[in-house]
Amino acid sequence: MSDAVTVMFMKRSHRVALKPTPEQAILFGQHSGYARFAYNWAVGEFKAGLDVGEWLGERTLRPRWNNVKGMIAPWSAPLSQNAAKYAIIDFGQAATSWGAYRRKVKAGHRPGRRVGFPKFKRRKHEQGFRADNGPDTVRVDGKVVILPKIGRVDMVEHLRFAGSIREVTINRTAGTWFASFCIEDGEKAPPVEGGLTIGVDVGVGTMATCSDGTTVDNPKVLTDALGRLRRLDKAIARSRNVHGRSNQSNRREQLYAKRRRLHARVVNVRNDHHHKATTAIAKSAGRVVVEALNVAGMIRNRRLARAIADARMSGFLTKLEYKCGWYGAEYVKADRWFASSKLCAHCGWKNNDLRLSEREWWCGGCGVLNDRDFNAAQNLEQWPGLSFPVTGRGDRVRPAMLAVVGEASNESDETSTKRGVSDFIRF
């Protein structure tokens, strides 16, 4: 057998707002409905198969769908069949993940994050579909994207990245249609460069505290928008009481649209803040050490759930991880049980009585007044896992390359001078 030769290229994504004509917007809605219909059909078939002890995977469901779609969905003939095909593929991946989770649970292993059974999609929430039929089947001409069965659709901006378009997903958010492009730019992932090691402690009051003294504020966008959200919710409730819950009301639809736009703005502002901060940290460090947080467990605290959800710490760390791969920095996750906040970074004395409300504490060993977040960041920078192999629940990882293109194998593998973080962050 000859050795498999693989070439690693970076994949980058760009989400662009579209400006469809009224006719194209109708086609978008029809394709979204078609994808949702096919997905729900797959869920029903899968459930029926489980009742008789048969596991129906994506490879089984797709031929069945092709045999019956002419009878159960004759209206789909003018539409692109890629929407239904990828909807069933997506269901297959969801069912596979659920099955793997259930096998771990039955075996008595620690399964990690809970994976639920795939649910039926609702028109109210699910508006999106895959528009491509594989790599390079969708073309972009300046500010125009050419989609199968839909045609030329205007975009509000040019694509930021040049290369092979691997995937294109169309979805609607707050009344605006977007195209999400996955682009393989043909560039190899940069090697890990030696440089400054930075410990990053993420939190709620301060989004991130770096061991070099730089801090990233938490924008608390949801907290600032709560007043407007409450007013909109009260107005919607009054409309329901006056006109009836099931009766059509144009004013209520306008209120729903305002609420959707407000929620979208909260997400956009938060993501923009996270992108700027994570880019600055990844560019300034040769190695970034973070703590492996159990955010799903933290959010069960009813007193802190809203603040933790508003901070979106998991999203922040996810962005930081793949950007370290972009800019040649090593990404290291410290052990979840490493007491970064309780250990004194100067002498190693452990404060076992430290409470969550204490933001500063005096060291009983050397008498230093420690800032809780900055001390934790310093401990992460000096994490002992950097000098010896990690066991147990800790791990030391380099982020997986965002794409692996195999010339002789179909399996994927994981495989400058730095400035200070403050040179990049502009808040």
The pLDDT value recorded for residue 348 is 86
Residue that has been written with the tokens 């290369």 in this structure:
163
**Of 209, 412, 426, 419, the residue nearest 329 (C-alpha):** 419
Pairing of strands 287-291, 330-334: parallel
Q: How many CB atoms lie within 10 A of CB 185?
A: 14
**Of 331, 330, 218, the residue nearest 274 (C-alpha):** 218
- At 323 the three-state DSSP class reads helix
277 CB burial (10 A radius; 0-12, 13-18, 19+): buried
171 CB burial (10 A radius; 0-12, 13-18, 19+): middle
The pLDDT value recorded for residue 298 is 86
CA 285, CA 330: separation in Å to the nearest integer?
8
Pairing of strands 206-210, 164-173: unpaired
Q: What's the half-sphere exposure (Cβ side, CA atoms, 13 Å) at 73?
A: 23
End-to-end CA distance of the chain: 56
CA 77, CA 70: separation in Å to the nearest integer?
8
CA 376, CA 381: separation in Å to the nearest integer?
9
Backbone dihedral angles phi then psi of residue 17, each to the nearest 5 degrees: -75, 145
Strands, E assignment, 26-150: 128-130, 139-141, 144-147
For residue 197, what are the contacts with CB-CB under 8 A and spacing of at least 6? 211, 285, 286, 287, 288, 289, 381, 386
Q: What is the pTM of this model?
A: 0.81
Domains located in the chain, CATH noted? 6-184 (no CATH), 197-221+256-397 (3.30.420)
Helix (H) and strand (E) counts for the chain?
Answer: 9, 16
**Of 352, 423, 424, 349, the residue nearest 379 (C-alpha):** 349
The pLDDT value recorded for residue 391 is 34
The pLDDT value recorded for residue 386 is 64
Q: How many CB atoms lie within 10 A of CB 157?
A: 9
For residue 397, what are the contacts with CB-CB under 8 A and spacing of at least 6? 331, 332, 333
The pLDDT value recorded for residue 221 is 94
DSSP class of residue 411? Answer: -
**Of 9, 2, 137, the residue nearest 415 (C-alpha):** 9
Taking only the tens of pLDDT, the chain with its 427 residues reads 444 444 567 888 999 999 999 999 999 999 999 999 999 999 999 999 999 999 999 999 999 999 999 999 999 999 999 999 999 999 999 999 999 999 999 988 877 778 999 999 998 877 999 999 989 899 999 999 999 999 999 999 999 988 899 999 999 999 999 999 999 988 787 888 778 899 999 988 899 999 988 899 999 999 999 999 999 999 999 999 888 888 888 899 999 999 999 999 999 999 999 999 999 999 988 899 998 888 888 888 888 899 999 999 999 999 999 999 888 899 999 888 888 888 898 888 888 888 888 888 898 888 889 888 999 999 998 887 765 333 333 333 333 333 332 333 333 333 333 444 444 343 3
